[in-house]
Chains A and B, each alone.
Chain A
Amino acid sequence: MLFNADIPLLTLIVFLPLAGALGVLATRSRPWTQGVVLISTLATFLLTLLPLLQFRPEQAGFQFVESVPWIATLGISYHLGIDGLSLFLLPLTGLLFVAAVLVSWNKVRLKERAYFISFLVLETGILGVFTSLDAILFYVFWEAMLIPMFLIIGIWGSENRRYASIKFIIYTMAGSLFLLVGLILMAFLSENLGGGFSFDMVSWLALNVPSHWQYGIFILFFIAFAVKVPIFPFHTWLPDAHVEAPTAGSVILAGVLLKMGVYGILRFCLPLLPEASLYFTPAIMALGVIGVIYGAFVAFAQDDLKKLVAYSSVSHMGLIVVGVMAGNLAGMKGGIIQMLNHGLSTGALFILVGALYERKKTRDMNKLGGLAARTPVLATFFVIMTLSSLGLPGLNGFVGEFLLLLGAFQYQWWIGALSATTLILGAVYMLWMVQRVFFETDRSGRSEAVADLFRPEKLVLVSFTLLVFFIGLYPSYITNRIEFTSRQLVAATTIKAAGPLAPVHPVPPNPAKVMTYEHDPSRR
């Protein structure tokens, strides 16, 4: 055991980047700045790997828990802990931040220290969101993280950056304020139900929220998370933010930030408000499916590479939402795995698109072409990541998409069928993109030599590729560890809503749910 219970491992993980940010303040020259940043992100990444080694998949509840009172007068505590849901999101965050630092290596020309400080503060915020078990602590991290992201897009982005940054922050802030009201209402409910005025999410899990409260609170929660995911009608900030953000910013946005939305749904909506979750499932499914198809079609129409990848994210995140809301084990597991996969493959795609942009100064696919011969390494990685993203068997995307679609089919065959179009449409726009950029003839009209990937970029992509194969070939490493959490999450909606509450608050029978329950082989 490297770390025993006495050492606050999660606190270390969360605040190490912040300490790094303070360290950066003290540096005076570029090598020092970059050195401090790299060391602090790498150390954070290594620390995030430790929970993987010591996590006990079969143990119920949260692990590595730390809890001290914070604002006792308002029932707020400093409460950290992780379960199967957050277990893999921590190393994903750690890895993507190391990648973000490496792809910015020697490239930031403007206010370099501020750039890296923003990233480190952002990392603390994101890690805090994934580990906090107190609702207000969660909310503080959730909001505090927006300011550095706002600055990253707004200062180091491309031409239209100011518009994109304010749109990003207003959308997400607007959503999260409703979350705040929802959280306060939950705390009052906890008081009324005898749990004391408390924002502790673990104690909330034991509450049976009265059904007439569930719907309102669910909507308040859902808006915040839907904006973040983003689920279909709330997605319009995403293309702007992704396109205008600097490469490393897009990597973090697509790789981790979007996961926070799904994480929120799984952490708050399903376990705390099962009845409302069940009630709203058809609507959310519909939005998810619309997102899948709409995102794919819009991606298909893009000429801008970054926009294409951004809309593909809308499509993929829609599929994840469909899966986790399906209310069966396959969909849930698929959703959690696909969160990782999407982080890896989309993160990598943004790195590659950024690299391409630096070399060719354009992201317009009509002005690219024939790059496979001139930048073979870049092209190879690009193809691998594209295939991972569209779900080629043997790569990570397949595992996630297969489980997600299985879940969707178990829910309703036609939902599954509609969602499955992502396989075809995804293949179409992704492969067409590869064809236009790397094959065909060069349309740029400039035939000078193009540099291939630099060493830091290669380093990042090799590690990503290894992970892509690892998850693709050995998915049970992950599924074993998320098994328990997934079962709990699925059970939350089915048991809590239909079980003990039923005599008190009769729930309208849900034929879809009953059928799923009986026909789900994994429940036996």
Chain B
Amino acid sequence: MNMILPDVNLSSLLPELILLAGATLLLFIRGGDNRQGIVPVAVLSVIAALAAVCYLWDQGTSGFGGLIVKDNGALLFQGMILTTALISLVLSRDFLPALKDAGEYYSLLLFSLIGMGIMTSAQDLLVIFLVMEILSLSLYVLVGFMKVIRTGMEAAMKYFLLGSFSSALFLLGLALYYGASGTTSLAALAAPTSAPTLMLAAFALIMVGLGFKIAAVPFHMWAPDVYEGAPVCVAALISVAPKIAVFAVLLRFGTAMAGPGQNLVWTVVLFMSLAGMVIGNFTALRQSGVARMLAYSGIAQVGYMLIGLLAIPEGGASAIAFYLAVYILMNMGAFASLTYLSRRQQETLRIDDLKGLASRQPWHAFALAVFMISLAGIPPTGGFFAKFYLFKIGIEAGYLGVVLIALVATIVSFFYYLRVVMVMYMAGEGEEALPPLRRGVSLIGVMIAAIVLMTLLAGILPDPFIRGVTNVFPAFSPGI
């Protein structure tokens, strides 16, 4: 047996290597009262990784014997993840107290980015499993990072236990997949399998693992606790970035899986979508904490996005990418507002604490209102066109009934999104639950303003965004 070294081509991992360098460097920077250098190093490495993504654009680099393919689809998703991370870094800088171990925090954050980055471009289930573990382990620690918060520790524990369980199931699915196809490569999906039942079981288990990461119903139980217990900046990251990575994987799956034998899988996705929309939206109605409300809203949003998965031949990938891009803006914006309001506060922010915000901080209330309106999908915000595009694709693929249910779920969602607006604008002053007013210009304030502008821009001139994603997605290689 002659060993041929596979063509390694390290440049296909350029963004990840940059992040790795940054993460390693951060471990050596001493924290302390003046966390000089930590945040800049983290931000710079994310920006350098973004630059690397731009550099690799249109090159179609692949490496490691085809295990890693940086096609434009992967790069687009990775770019979105890195943008989310940038926002999250600004939030962390604002929210975290001067911890001794701040370097570790940012280092772990970068490690999770490495995991997500490789997930978008991996062509092999084994690689996907490995990087998913890198991602998850970093996030487990980050959730419980502020040891002073008891709920945070509890949330981290829950997240860890359930997460490892789901990873185990994923691994089992991977084993079955190997048994059915004789390979761990995604390319085997396209070929007809000799053991369809085994393949189906493999898919089911893999869907459990992936569904857990995006909090798709019925694997969503961890989300509310984690969103509430984790530091706001970590919750923000968890609410968006892993979803982008997992949807990249799901899209590769879905694009490859055209065989009629996989009909049952689509039914599963269909039910996950419906259950997400219905359960997420109805449960969100009853929440009093802002973070929990956003958690259930996120569960519902995943339900909407799964419609795009059902409609892959009609351009579901572009619709999901556009939805995710807008989702970054509106969800990170909402979490940024939350960070701005609940800075260094240990108790969780309730919706009623926002009472009278419009009188005290009119601009900030306006920003939060824009994010809520966008999440609800009301024009002229980006959220509207994101939903519109998704529903259009869904109808085109023949899922009119699903879209109608999505509409009803959307109507339900108006209640809780608009409730935030009502509380801010239509109620009198609340008790002094909010921290004292901030004055002057802060980085986070500027960032929120920028996100508001982007959200509105995505609703008024969405054409460049949409054209961008539709140009990319013919290039998204289906697991080959």
Chain A residues near B (Cβ < 8 Å): 70-74, 111, 114, 136, 139-140, 143-144, 146-147, 150-151, 154-155, 161-162, 165-166, 169-170, 173-174, 177-178, 180-181, 184-185, 187-188
Contact = CB atoms under 8 A, between A and B. Distances in A.
Interface of B: 358-359, 362, 373, 378-380, 384-385, 388-389, 391-392, 395-396, 400, 403-404, 407, 410-411, 414-415, 418-419, 421-422, 425-427, 462-463, 466-467, 470
Main secondary structure of the interface of B (DSSP, over half): helix
B391 A143 contact: no
A144 B395 contact: no
A155 B426 contact: yes
Candidate in A146, A161, A169 with the most chain B CB atoms within 10 angstroms: A169
Contacts of A177: 407, 410-411
B467 A73 contact: yes
Given A162-B426, A188-B395, A71 B463 contact: yes
A155 B395 contact: no
Contacts of A114: 358, 362
Given A73-B463, A181-B403, A111 B418 contact: no
Given A143-B379, A154-B426, A184-B392, A169 B466 contact: no
Contact of A174 (B358, B411, B426): B411
Candidate in A154, A166, A180 with the most chain B CB atoms within 10 angstroms: A180
Contacts of A166: 415, 418-419, 422
Contacts of B422: 154, 162, 165-166
Candidate in B379, B380, B400, B411 with the most chain A CB atoms within 10 angstroms: B379
B414 A70 contact: no
Nearest to B396: A188
A-B pairs, 5 with minimum CB distance? A140-B379, A154-B426, A174-B411, A71-B463, A177-B407
Contact of B392 (A70, A74, A150, A162): A74
B378 A173 contact: yes
Given A73-B467, A170-B415, A173-B411, A143 B378 contact: yes
Nearest to B359: A111
A232 B182 CA distance: 65
Given A154-B425, A173-B378, A181-B403, A136 B388 contact: yes
Contacts, number: 82
B389 A74 contact: yes
Nearest to B379: A140
B361 to A, nearest CB: 13
B418 A181 contact: no
Contacts of B384: 140, 143
A173 B415 CA distance: 11
A165 B419 CA distance: 11
A71 B470 CA distance: 13
A71 B378 contact: no
A151 B425 contact: yes
A174 B462 CA distance: 24
9 contacts: A71-B385, A74-B389, A150-B421, A155-B426, A162-B427, A177-B410, A180-B388, A180-B407, A181-B407
B463 A70 contact: yes
B351 to A, nearest CB: 14
A170 B380 contact: no
Contacts of A71: 385, 462-463, 466
A180 B426 CA distance: 29
A180 B385 CA distance: 11
Contacts of A180: 388, 391, 407
Contacts of A143: 378-379, 384
B391 A147 contact: no
Candidate in B362, B403, B411, B470 with the most chain A CB atoms within 10 angstroms: B411
Given A74-B389, A143-B384, A154-B425, A170 B395 contact: no
A146 B463 contact: no
Contacts of A111: 358-359
Contact of B426 (A146, A165, A187): A165
Contacts of B466: 71, 73-74
Given A139-B379, A143-B379, A184-B392, A155 B407 contact: no
A188 B398 CA distance: 11
Contacts of B462: 71
Contacts of B403: 181
A428 B396 CA distance: 54
Nearest to A145: B379
Candidate in A73, A150, A169, A170 with the most chain B CB atoms within 10 angstroms: A73
Contacts of A144: 378-380
B378 A146 contact: yes
Nearest to B427: A162
Nearest to B378: A143
A143 B463 CA distance: 20
A169 B418 contact: yes
A146 B462 CA distance: 21
B72 to A, nearest CB: 17
Nearest to B315: A73
A185 B398 CA distance: 11
A364 B422 CA distance: 29
A169 B384 CA distance: 16
Contacts of A184: 388, 391-392, 395
Contacts of B410: 177
Contacts of A150: 418, 421
Nearest to B460: A140
A218 B88 CA distance: 46
A178 B407 contact: yes
A166 B421 CA distance: 11
A187 B388 CA distance: 13
B463 A161 contact: no
A169 B379 contact: no
Contacts of A181: 391, 395, 400, 403-404, 407
A184 B407 CA distance: 13
Contacts of A136: 388
Contacts of A151: 425
Contacts of A165: 422, 426
Contacts of B373: 147
B134 to A, nearest CB: 36
A501 to B, nearest CB: 24
A326 to B, nearest CB: 32
A169 B410 CA distance: 13
B391 A72 contact: no
Contacts of B425: 151, 154-155
